[in-house]
Amino acid sequence: MHVDGTEKKWVILSFLMAFAMMGILTAYAINYNIRPPSNVETVDSNALHLTKEFAEDNLGLKVLADGTVTVTMVAARYGFYPQNLKVPSDTSIKFRLASADVLHGVHTAGTNMNTMVVPGYVSELTTTFPHVGKFPMFCNEYCGLGHDYMWSRLIVVPKDQFTLPAPQGGAQ
């Protein structure tokens, strides 16, 4: 098959550009420590309200025996529960989220708290909030007719004004 010389040059150039961009993305991802959340932990989303961890009364902020500050949350059409979440500033907080129905996402505006909440899996991320204030927490994966209205509130309180609950599993 005859390929014109100029066309051949353009084909080679396009391939080189594509490979160069892939290379740049890979280098960027490695150097800036960007990786997909890989907490592969399954949960039965149908019966989420009957699980121990994601039971209605177990949601919210708590301190584990080792001192890890954990927030257990549920994304369900159309809201995040607990609806008003208070957390201390400058504290490493581990979020554990699960969906009770369809695919959701959670993003807290002005922070890097952002993850997908896939039904059947527990999403986990750890972050620190350096700024005090009220932040809207909203769904960023289309989940149905009420998607636009799916948002709740994160309140970051200065660390010195926040009393953490007693660690669980430790001395009462």
Partner 1 sequence: MTYKTTRYNINFSSLKSPFKKSLQFALVSLALLGANNAFSAASSNVVWNSETRALIKNADIEKGKEEAKICDGCHGKDGTAELEDNFPSLAGQLAEATYKQMMDYKDNTRGHGIMQNFANILSKESIANISVYYSKQALPTTKGEEPTAAAIKLAKLGDGDRLIPPCAACHGDKGQGAIVDVPALAGQNPSYFITAMQRFKSGTRANDIYNRMRLISSSLTDQEIDELANYYAFIGTPEEE
Q: Which residues bind partner 1 (CB under 8 A)?
A: 31-33, 35, 37-40, 46-47, 49-50, 52-53, 55-59, 62, 64-66, 68, 70, 74, 76-79, 81, 83-84, 94, 100, 111-112, 124-128, 130, 144-146, 149-153, 168-170
The three-class DSSP label of residue 91 is: coil
The rounded distance, in Å, linking the Cα atoms of 160 and 172 is 23
The three-class DSSP label of residue 7 is: helix
The rounded distance, in Å, linking the Cα atoms of 100 and 46 is 6
For the bound state, the minimum distance from the C-beta of residue 120 to partner 1, rounded and expressed in Å, comes to: 13
For partner 1, give the closer residue by CB, 13 or 55. 55
For partner 1, give the closer residue by CB, 11 or 55. 55
For partner 1, give the closer residue by CB, 14 or 83. 83
For the bound state, the minimum distance from the C-beta of residue 6 to partner 1, rounded and expressed in Å, comes to: 38
The full DSSP string for 10-66 is HHHHHHHHHHHHHHHHHHHHHHTT--------B--STTGGGSSTTSGGG-EEEE-TT
For partner 1, give the closer residue by CB, 127 or 140. 127
